[in-house]
A = this chain, B = another copy of it.
Amino acid sequence: MTKAPGFDEAATRAVYRVIRERRDVRRGFLPDPMPDELLYRLLEAAHNAPSVGLMQPWRFIVVRSLAVRQAVHKIFLDANQESLAGYEKDRKQIYAAMKLEGILEAPQNLCVVCDSESPQGHRLGRQTMPETPVYSAVCAVQNLWLAARAEGIGVGWVSILEPERLRSVLSIPRHITPVAYLCLGYVDKFASEPDLERTGWERRTPLKSVLSYDSYDSQWDKEKLKQGVHDRGVGAQD
């Protein structure tokens, strides 16, 4: 049987390039708003994500209102203050110096929420793993993130937010899960490495350290213990 073809070399290279050059962007957002057509292209990319049972459980709340963004920013500030209080010494200094969101600078924010009870998809594939609708919504985020990089749009995912307060600001009902809060916009540059690496917060590990065959590798947990010891040395909590 003949193998179905992949993309040609240039197109395949573009796919790997966007995966490699995607960055979590928190700084350098420009005030120019995105045209609607561009925003829709990115949302269509998200909407093309895989979903369990074809249920498409994601819902997109585009936040342009400055008042709403200010309310979300206040939620960030409070959660960030609390996080900072949990670190000590060197690590507290690094944390305090980092810029972790662009809620007010990015003219567009996007909250991706998930309706895990939607009848669409007729429950297919979510009976043994009820968390799969939320996973589908995360796939939508990643699609948007990659398309945005190709379009020259920076995206930053802000998770330092109390979900209950976010729910209240955006009128998200109880049965809906807030999955991701994103800042989107034109940027002055895309960094060549992750911000968290540049600031000395963390280093990327090689692939081989997370790869095993036919069974979970119990060595992974031993290495974690070693790293835990190292962490205490620089003042972190775990």
Assess the B14–A14 pair: CB atoms within 8 A. Answer: yes
Assess the B142–A52 pair: CB atoms within 8 A. Answer: no
Q: Which of B41, B68, B154, B236 interacts with A123 by CB under 8 Å?
A: B236
Assess the B215–A170 pair: CB atoms within 8 A. Answer: yes
9 A–B pairs (Cβ distance < 8 Å), ordered by A: A59-B216, A60-B212, A61-B216, A62-B213, A79-B128, A91-B122, A129-B163, A134-B135, A143-B146
Closest to A189 in B: B4
Instruction: Give a binary string over A176-195; 1 marks a CB under 8 Å from any B CB, 0 the rest.
Output: 10011000001111100010
Residues of B within 8 A of A153 (CB): 6
Assess the B59–A6 pair: CB atoms within 8 A. Answer: no
Min C-beta distance of A110 to chain B, whole Å = 10
Interface residues in chain A, defined as those with a beta carbon under 8 Å from any beta carbon in chain B:
1-7, 10-20, 22, 24, 30, 32, 40-41, 43-45, 47-50, 52-56, 58-65, 68, 79, 82-83, 86-87, 91, 95, 100, 113, 115, 117-129, 131-132, 134-135, 138-139, 141-143, 145-147, 149-154, 157, 159-163, 170-173, 176, 179-180, 186-190, 194, 196-197, 201-205, 207, 210-218, 220-221, 224, 227-228, 231, 236-238
Assess the B126–A159 pair: CB atoms within 8 A. Answer: yes
Bound complex: CA A4 to CA B11 (Å): 22
Closest to A196 in B: B54
Closest to A121 in B: B202
Residues of B within 8 A of A172 (CB): 216
Q: Besides the contacts A95-B124, A135-B141, what 8 more A-B pairs have beta carbons closer than 8 Å?
A: A11-B11, A11-B18, A59-B211, A61-B217, A119-B224, A139-B141, A139-B145, A171-B216
Assess the A216–B150 pair: CB atoms within 8 A. Answer: no
Assess the A118–B224 pair: CB atoms within 8 A. Answer: yes
Assess the B187–A127 pair: CB atoms within 8 A. Answer: no
Min C-beta distance of A194 to chain B, whole Å = 6
Q: Which of B13, B119, B132, B159 interacts with A159 by CB under 8 Å?
A: B132
Assess the A59–B19 pair: CB atoms within 8 A. Answer: no
Bound complex: CA A121 to CA B142 (Å): 20
Closest to A144 in B: B19
User: Given the known A-B contacts A142-B143, A211-B60, A212-B59, are A128 and B159 also in contact in the complex, defined by CB atoms under 8 Å?
Assistant: yes
Residues of B within 8 A of A79 (CB): 127-128
